[in-house]
Amino acid sequence: MGKRCFAEFLGTFWLVFGGCGSAVLAAAYPQLGIGFAGVALAFGLTVVTMAYAVGHVSGGHFNPAVTVGLWAGGRIPAKDVAPYVIAQVIGGIAAGAVLFLIASGKTGFDPTAGFASNGYGAHSPGGYSLLACMVAELVLTAFFLIVIHGVTDKRAPAGFAPLAIGLALTLIHLISIPVTNTSVNPARSTGVAIFQGSWAIAQLWMFWLVPLVGGVLGGLIYRWLLDAPADARVTDPVPGAASVAS
């Protein structure tokens, strides 16, 4: 368990440092910035790289909502949830601290301006309401868990899960950076909120509650509605297919 938790720490550190770091340091760089699309891709790349690097050690969750969602989907035992979540949050905060140290080396740096924190209402990048932000985080986290369950199913093509999960996270960010600055990950939100130091902490409750609920929802959907019986295969003939083809 110690090595598994350390792998989760490393993976979450890389996700927060790489994803939030791209937003803080490179998104609006003078004259040439990577923009929303670049930040979205950065988040996806962090998951792909660390899932391949340490996913075989811990499963590559790097996100409390993923851990809780995999538990809801019957993939991990309840005893693993708390140690994983603690390691992920510590990894996120450590990444936030390193990013803060780097960013503060530039004259005029002001973490209260945002520091890649998630927000709603007046602190949503696009000014979206609390309800709109809650719906976005719920739906996107639920679908993220459906994707994770599906691509890691033993019936899925082997070896492609990290790539599919990273692409899903990139898509999620492309959709929702203007809405909430994209959380779907309480550890990511916590890691930068405590260094923003004001409104981000006050709004942090939403970026814990809603992604966790969305993770559970996604896990249950896959477990009860989409997970076919163990003896089913995608190559099984569809009923009536022969008669239609003829």
The CATH number of the domain holding residue 196 is 1.20.1080.10
What pLDDT score does 199 carry? Answer: 95
* Helix pair angle (161-180, 35-58), 10° resolution: 140
DSSP class of 222: I
For the chain, how many structural domains are there in total? Answer: 1
Q: Which domain holds residue 10?
A: 1-103+116-225
Residue 65 — φ and ψ, nearest 5°?
-65, -35
Please name the residue ranges forming H helices in 22-129.
35-58, 64-72, 81-103
What pLDDT score does 229 carry? Answer: 55
In this structure, is residue 240 part of a structural domain? no
In this structure, is residue 15 part of a structural domain? yes
Q: Are 54 and 12 in contact (CB under 8 A)?
A: no
Q: Are 61 and 8 in contact (CB under 8 A)?
A: yes
What pLDDT score does 228 carry? Answer: 55
In this structure, is residue 111 part of a structural domain? no
- How far, in Å, CA of 131 to CA of 136, rounded? 9
User: What are the pLDDT digits (tens) for 173-210?
Assistant: 999 999 999 999 999 999 999 999 899 999 999 999 99
In this structure, is residue 137 part of a structural domain? yes
- How far, in Å, CA of 10 to CA of 21, rounded? 15
Structure-token match 């973490």, residue found:
111
Q: Are 14 and 8 in contact (CB under 8 A)?
A: no
Q: Are 116 and 188 in contact (CB under 8 A)?
A: no
- How far, in Å, CA of 244 to CA of 166, rounded? 38
Residue 132 burial (CB count, 10 A): 16
- How far, in Å, CA of 93 to CA of 97, rounded? 6
Q: What is the mean pLDDT of each run of 10 residues along the chain (246 residues)?
A: 95 96 84 84 95 93 96 93 97 97 91 92 96 98 95 84 95 96 97 94 97 97 72 43 37
What pLDDT score does 246 carry? Answer: 29
In this structure, is residue 109 part of a structural domain? no
